[in-house]
Structure 1
C-alpha cells in the first residue's frame, strides 16, 4: 500500500521543516528567546552548518563560470562573468520576494501561497525559527540554502546557450524561472507537494528538483535558439568548436565538486545527527567513479583520454548521486556514479549530432539527473528509507517496483511542467525581443558586441593600440576591431 506522508527526500529533519510557514512560525516562548538572543545551542550549531553548506553551494557559481569560460572561445569569455553575476542577483531578489513562498509556503499540493518576503503574522513580522523538536534552524538559513539551489538550477540552463544568445534573454527568463518555474517544481517534491505526498518521490538534494529542472529549461531554449554558426557542415555532421582554456574548465569542475560537499551533506539541515560525513563520502565515491568510467568509455571510442569527458564524468556522477545521497549505503554510490559516467559520454555524443550543447549540460545534468532519481527506486536501503520517513526501499532490496515507478512519475511530471513553461516563455521571447544576436555580432563575439569590451583585450587588439584602449570596446583613435573568428576544425 502506498504511504502518503508530508515528506520530501531531504532528510529526517526536513520532514518537519518543510511545512513552512505554518511550522516555521515560532511559538511565543520561542519568539521571546529569539528576541533575547538566547535560542538553544542546537539552533546555532545547525544554522551555522547549513549556512556554511549554503556558502559552498554559492561558490559553485564560480565553478560554472570557469567551466563555461573554458568551453567558450576567447571572444566570448568575458560575457560569462556578467551573466553569472546578473542571474545570481535576479534569483536572490525573486526568491526572497515570492519564490520561497511558492516553494515552501503553506497553501496546497501545487503551490505555496504564504510567506512572501519571508513575512508572517507573528509578533516579529517574520518567521525567525523553523520550530521543530530537534534539528532547528532559523528560517533565514533555510531561505539562503534553498536560494542557492535555485541559483544553481538557473545556471545550468545557460551553459548550453554559450556564444549566441542575447543578454536580455538571461534577464527575462531568470525572473520567470526563479519566481515561478523553479519554485513550483521545488514545491511538488521539496515543499511537501503532490509528488511528495501522493507518490513519495525521493530526491534528497535535487537530481530532479535542481538538475533536471535546469537541464529541461536548457533543452527548451536550445530547440528555439539553434546551433552556433559553423557547428554543422553542409552535410549536417557536427564540427568540433574547441573551448579556449581547458585548465580553467578543470578548475571549474573541481570547484563544483567541492561545492557538492555543501549541496548533498547540507541537505539534511542538521549537524547533530552525525550523518553529513557519511553523505559526503557517498558523494565523493560517486564522483570518482563517474570520472573513471567516463574516461574509460571515451577511450574505448576514441583511444584518447578526453579532458572534457573527464570533467563531465565527475559532474554526471555528482548529479546522479544527488537524489540518492541520503538514502543509499556506501556500496551503491560508485555503481550509481559509474553508470552516470557511461551515460554522460554516450549522451553527449548522441546529442551533439543534432543539438549544439557546448558544455554537455543536457547529458551531465539532464540524463544523469534522471538516472540519479530513478536510482533511488533501485538502491534506497530499508534503514535509510525508514530513517528519512519517505517512500520505501528500492527494488534491489524488496523486489517491489513501486518506489521505482514513483520515481519515474516524479521525473516525468517535472520534465513536462518545466519544458512546457520554459518553451512557452522562450517562444514569446523569440517572437518579441528575440533570442539570439545577429550573425555579425556572433562573428565578432559577445564580449565586444554585447558588452563593448573584451575579456582578453590583448588577444584581439593590436599591442600598440592597447595603450589607448577604452572601456567602450575600441582603442582610442583606432578603427573598430574586425571579426576574429578562426577556422573551425572539421
Structure 2
C-alpha cells in the first residue's frame, strides 16, 4: 500500500483522536464554569450525548453531508455507513468518517452548553438526535459537502461556521426558551454573577481544548505530504495567544482587575475565530484575528447578559460572535497564494466579493441553525411538559435530581447529614 496513503490516514486519525479528546476539555470547562451541584450531570451528559450523536451520524448525518447522490441542499447516500474503502481520497475513508464524526460531536456539545444547569436530561436526548440528523449535517453539506455555499466559494477551513456558529445558534434558541437560571436576575433587571465552582478546572479545560484544536485545524489538511499542517498549527496557536492577551487587557482596562474567566474565553475565542481562516491567511493576520476576537468576546458577554440571555458557558460569545468574526475575517485577510477556496480578501485586491460570500454563509447558516433549533425545542416544550426541571430540582441540583447521586458525594452527603442532625 502507498506510504503516503498510510501516513495521511495516520495523521487524520491522530487529528480525530485530538478532536474527540476535546470533549474532556469541554467537561472541565463546563463543570468548572457552573456550580458544584451540577458537575456530575454535566460530565455524564457530555459522554452520553457524544455517544448518541455518533450513532446518529453513522446512520444519517454522514450521508446527509457527503452522500454522492444529493443536491445543493443535502446529500442522499452513504446512510448507515459501511466503512468500505474508497481509494480516491488519499487516505482511508473510514478514518475520514471518524474525523468528521468528531466534528459533529463537538458541535452538539457546544449547542448543549446553552442548556446548562436547568434542562431535563430527556431534552438533551431528543435534541441531540434531531440536531445531529437535521441541523449540523445540512449546514456541513452546504459548505463542506459540495452544497450551494461551496459552489459560491464559501471559505471555512475547519468550521468557524459549520461547527461553532451552528452550535452557538442552537444554544441561543435554548437559552431563550429555557429562560434564565433561578437567581441570575433581580427584579430590577440587574444580573447576579453566578460564579463557576472551579477556575482550575476551567483553565485546564481550556488548555485541553487548545491542544485538541491542533487536531481540529491542522488535522483538517487531511494530508502530510507538503507539511502545510505546520503552518495551520502556527496560525492556530498565534490566534489563541492573541485572544488570551487582548481579553486580559480589555478586562483589566474596563473592570480594573484582570478577570481570569474573560482571559480564558479570549483564548477560546481566538481559536474559534482562526478556525475558518487558518489555512487562508498570513501569520500576522492570524494575530490580528485572534486579538480582535478576544476583545469581542468580552463585550459580547456583557451585551447578552444585559439582555437577560443567561448563557452559563458563554457559548454565544465564544462560539457564536467569534465564529462570525472568524468567518468574515477571510473576506478581509485571505491571500491570493493561500486562497485555494474562493477568492482573495478585500485587503489583497479581491474586492468585496469574498466578504459578501462569507456574510451570506454566516447569515444563512446561522438563521437555519437558530430557526430549526427553536422550532424543535418549542415543539418539545409542548410535548414533553416543558424543557426545564422543576424549581425544586434546579435548586437541589441536577446531579441528585436527574441521576440520584452527587458529583461530589463527600461534600454533599456530609452537608445533608449535618442538616439532619
Report whether the alignment pairs 1:428 with 2:379.
Answer: yes
The corresponding residue for 1:381 is: 335
Deviation of the 1:130 alpha carbon: 4.5
The corresponding residue for 1:363 is: 317
Report which of the two has the higher share of helix: 2
Deviations 1:160-182 (A, max 9, x none): 22111101111001001112210
CA distance in 2, matches of 1:91, 1:158: 12
The corresponding residue for 2:403 is: 451
CA distance in 1, matches of 2:265, 2:119: 23
**C-alpha contact 2:29 2:204 (8 A) present in aligned 1:** yes
Cα 1:157/1:312, change in 2 over 3 Å: same
CA distance in 2, matches of 1:255, 1:396: 34
CA distance in 2, matches of 1:195, 1:352: 33
The corresponding residue for 2:126 is: 172
Which protein shows a greater Rg?
A: 1
Q: How does 1:19-30 map to 2 (within 5 A)?
A: none
CA distance in 1, matches of 2:350, 2:23: 41
Correspondent of 1:339 among 292, 295, 318? 292
CA distance in 2, matches of 1:202, 1:154: 22
Cα 1:140/1:402, change in 2 over 3 Å: same
User: TM-score scaled to structure 2, two decimals?
Assistant: 0.97
What 5-or-longer segments of structure 1 have no aligned partner? 1-38, 120-125, 467-477, 482-490
The corresponding residue for 1:22 is: none
Cα 1:451/1:131, change in 2 over 3 Å: same
The corresponding residue for 1:147 is: 101
**C-alpha contact 2:104 2:132 (8 A) present in aligned 1:** yes
The corresponding residue for 1:408 is: 359
CA distance in 2, matches of 1:463, 1:60: 33
Indicate the RMSD between aligned Cα atoms, in angstroms.
1.5
The corresponding residue for 2:85 is: 128
Cα 1:189/1:463, change in 2 over 3 Å: closer
Which stretch of the first structure deviates more once superposed, 412-421 or 209-218?
412-421
Q: Secondary structure at the match of 2:186?
A: coil
**C-alpha contact 2:15 2:214 (8 A) present in aligned 1:** yes
CA distance in 1, matches of 2:121, 2:85: 37
Q: How does 1:61-460 map to 2 (within 5 A)?
A: 61-106=23-68, 107-119=70-82, 127-132=84-89, 136-197=90-151, 199-353=152-306, 354-385=308-339, 388=340, 390-398=341-349, 400-433=351-384, 434-460=386-412
CA distance in 2, matches of 1:144, 1:395: 36
Q: How does 1:31-70 map to 2 (within 5 A)?
A: 39-70=1-32
Q: Secondary structure at the match of 2:180?
A: coil
Deviation of the 1:263 alpha carbon: 0.3
The corresponding residue for 1:472 is: none
Q: Secondary structure at the match of 2:337?
A: helix
**C-alpha contact 2:344 2:350 (8 A) present in aligned 1:** no
CA distance in 1, matches of 2:148, 2:167: 20
User: TM-score scaled to structure 1, two decimals?
Assistant: 0.84
**C-alpha contact 2:343 2:350 (8 A) present in aligned 1:** no
CA distance in 2, matches of 1:157, 1:118: 25
Cα 1:203/1:130, change in 2 over 3 Å: farther
Q: Secondary structure at the match of 1:453?
A: coil
CA distance in 1, matches of 2:194, 2:248: 20
CA distance in 1, matches of 2:299, 2:87: 44
CA distance in 1, matches of 2:415, 2:300: 43
CA distance in 2, matches of 1:103, 1:273: 27
Deviation of the 1:158 alpha carbon: 1.7
Deviations 1:302-340 (A, max 9, x none): 111111001100000000000000101111100000000
CA distance in 2, matches of 1:274, 1:299: 39
Which stretch of the first structure deviates more once superposed, 457-466 or 98-107?
457-466
What 5-or-longer segments of structure 2 have no aligned partner? none
Deviation of the 1:462 alpha carbon: 2.2
- Runs of 4+ with deviation above 4 angstroms: 463-466
Deviations 1:134-163 (A, max 9, x none): xx0111111110000000000001222211
CA distance in 2, matches of 1:233, 1:247: 29
Deviations 1:333-367 (A, max 9, x none): 00000000000000001111121111111000000
CA distance in 1, matches of 2:387, 2:354: 40
